[in-house]
Chains A and B, each alone.
Chain A
Amino acid sequence: MTLRENMTRRALLVKLGIVFNACVAALLAIPILRYLLSPAVAGGKSSYRNWLSLGSVEQFPEGQTRFATFTNPDVQPWDGKTAQSACWVRRIDATRLQVFAINCAHLGGPVRWFPDSSFARVMAEPTTKTARALPVLPSEGFSSIRTRLKMEPY
């Protein structure tokens, strides 16, 4: 075998080796990319769509807006205080309630409600228009209420 033929064969082997490694890399890339992108499809996780208890309706008097907390639907042991979340519950009348997310619709800052001045204060705008509404589900004969996270809370 001539030197030229040896060089050509070795060059071919190098190319084959590169192709082989490229295939292995592509194979490894699939689970790595799935792992990296998995939170982007976390909305598909059924636990996030669970209804979350806000407790008895009696703690929300008619005509008032009260602060309420709930436990997040998908909790890890190391979440600490972030396992909890909060919302505002307004009882319009005997049979109607509204639940507002704690994150304002403007930029996600915390919404604070002041009954005496009847407006919500967020970091920038004290207006009743800044809170996002969450779904409400009365249950157990309207003795307790539940709510649910929005998949796009921000």
Chain B
Amino acid sequence: MRLISQLAQWFDARVQLASAIRDTAEHPVPRQTASWFYVFGSGALVIFMMQVVTGILLAFVYVPSAGEAWNSLQTLNHSITLGWYIRALHGWGSNFMVAVVLIHMVQVFLFGAYKFPRELTWIVGVFLLLMTLGMAFSGQVLRFDQDAFWGIGIGASISSRVPILGPWIVHLLLGGPIIAGATLSRFFALHVFAIPALLLGLVGLHLLMVLKLGINEWPMPGRIVRKATYEEEYQELVKKDGVPFVPSAVWKDIFFAGFLLLLLALVAAYYGPFGPSGRPDPTIIQTAPRPDYFFLWLYALLSLLPPQMETPALLIGPVVAIAFLLLLPFLAGEGEKSWRRRPVAVLGIALVGVILGTFTSLAGHAPWSPVMDAWSGDPVPKQFLENRSALERQGVLVFQLKQCRNCHSLGEIGGKRGPALDSVAVVQTRDQLVRQVIQGGGNMPAYGKNLSPAETAALVAFLETLHPQGQSPARNASRALANQPGAASPGTPR
């Protein structure tokens, strides 16, 4: 111990940082900020450091070349001792990072910590969030499998919609007009060098401001923020009811950091690494690419938006959202901090959470996407074959062979892009069924050219049998009237 102490003194006589570190560690913070709600910022920092360490370890083996990246990942997964585990730590770490950063942001927002004088801390935080998402996206590109290949193509497609600059942005993003070796190289440079350097700088600035301006005090209802008086009130609070950051507040950060790392270690060990999935071969198109979980909501949104709304949503939505976040401290820089007195803030968070959660959940099973092997893999349930005439059974064959099952389910088996057809005869008359099949409509293509009259007749005959037992199929009342004896034909003057 004496030797360690002497070594420490030798270093500090030359580096002369011990005093500054001690002052920083023991700086007073309001007592109530020694709370579990305040641990997410440090949690995000710890996960970030874990990502840097595991990233460096992966870079010992990973080859950032379009021709070899996939092979190097297979080597990591199967040939390097615990390579799969380091990949799993890094991949799951990315998911944890996004989640913890978002939770931290929500906590800061609900505690009003973006208000005076911490406006710049919040603004830097918004940029940190954007860069975290940038790291997450570029990290998935580096996996360079089917998902990554088509995913970057979709990113390029979205970028191409920017007016005037679109094509240039695509070429800069991809390193040319197409996805090739140059694309992976530049994403590697962005993911490993450019964005982390920016992150380190901005995290340093963010932490410096937290230290200089003090931890945001616990938001009490009725404690109003006013620019003229806030700083004096804060200093008085710290003087009257302050505790040293180390050890009074930091022990919770330490425990939470340990808990996060343990959780990450367990999740990585249990679930293993992400992919890589299929080879990034542009000639392999039997694929259903998906982004990682934090962009699934966008995948669902773009799949469900009407085409004419896509470009405005893609170009205007993010700009408005980011502008709102950056301007928030100036729009609501004073006033109440407590969420109990800010119902709009709480409802806003709840609404955003529900929207993102719903879209993410939808993207999980993608009901808008046809099940392309339903026609060959899912037999028609037995109950739809019993008590059918020969023509109706012929209609079943047409229904199966023309791949209607891919979009329409029967007995809950099949695609969900179109409505389930178990009771279609109740909602559409015979004429309506014929029109729908031949002319299509909505998302359904027209099948008129692909079905002979006989096939159409058989198919519609089958569809007319699809109604619940005891319930009659829909009938065209005017047809019944028109077919009565003595009824005038259309156009005949009465």
Contacts and interface: CB of A to CB of B under 8 A. Distances in A.
Contacts of A24: none
Given A76-B180, A108-B153, A123-B303, A37 B172 contact: yes
B491 to A, nearest CB: 37
A49 B172 CA distance: 19
Interface in B377-400: none
Nearest to B157: A108
A123 B171 contact: no
B282 A85 contact: yes
A112 B288 CA distance: 11
A79 B447 CA distance: 41
A76 B302 CA distance: 33
B282 A82 contact: yes
> Among the interface residues A72, A76, A80, A86, which one has the most CB atoms of the partner chain B within 10 A?
A80
Interface in B62-93: 65-68, 70
Contacts of A39: 171-172, 174-176, 182
B286 interface: yes
Contacts of A151: 167, 177
Contacts of B368: 124
Given A39-B172, A82-B179, A124 B369 contact: yes
A67 B283 CA distance: 9
Contact of B178 (A40, A78, A80, A149): A149
A138 interface: no
Contacts of A75: 180
Contact of B289 (A36, A37, A123): A123
A42 B369 contact: no
B176 A110 contact: no
B284 to A, nearest CB: 8
B303 A78 contact: no
Interface residues of A, number: 51
B193 to A, nearest CB: 14
B190 to A, nearest CB: 12
Contacts of A121: 370, 372
Contact of A48 (B159, B168, B177, B282): B177
Describe B's contact surface by its main secondary structure: loop
Given A123-B369, A153-B178, A154-B160, A80 B283 contact: no
Interface residues of B, number: 60
A126 B166 CA distance: 26
Interface string A105-133: 01111111010111101011111100000
B240 to A, nearest CB: 48
Contacts of B176: 39, 42, 48, 74
Contact of A110 (B160, B180, B285, B303): B285
A118 B449 CA distance: 9
A102 B443 CA distance: 21
Given A84-B283, A109-B289, A103 B65 contact: no
Nearest to A116: B403
A108 B166 CA distance: 14
A85 B170 CA distance: 18
A151 B174 CA distance: 12
A50 B30 CA distance: 69
A118 B150 contact: no
Interface of A: 36-37, 39-43, 48, 67, 69, 72, 74-86, 102-103, 106-112, 114, 116-119, 121, 123-128, 149-154
16 contacts: A39-B175, A39-B182, A48-B176, A67-B285, A81-B280, A82-B149, A82-B179, A82-B181, A103-B153, A108-B156, A110-B289, A117-B375, A117-B402, A152-B166, A154-B157, A154-B160
Given A152-B177, A154-B153, 15 more contacts: A40-B172, A41-B171, A75-B180, A78-B68, A80-B67, A81-B282, A85-B178, A103-B157, A108-B156, A111-B285, A118-B449, A119-B445, A126-B417, A127-B443, A154-B156
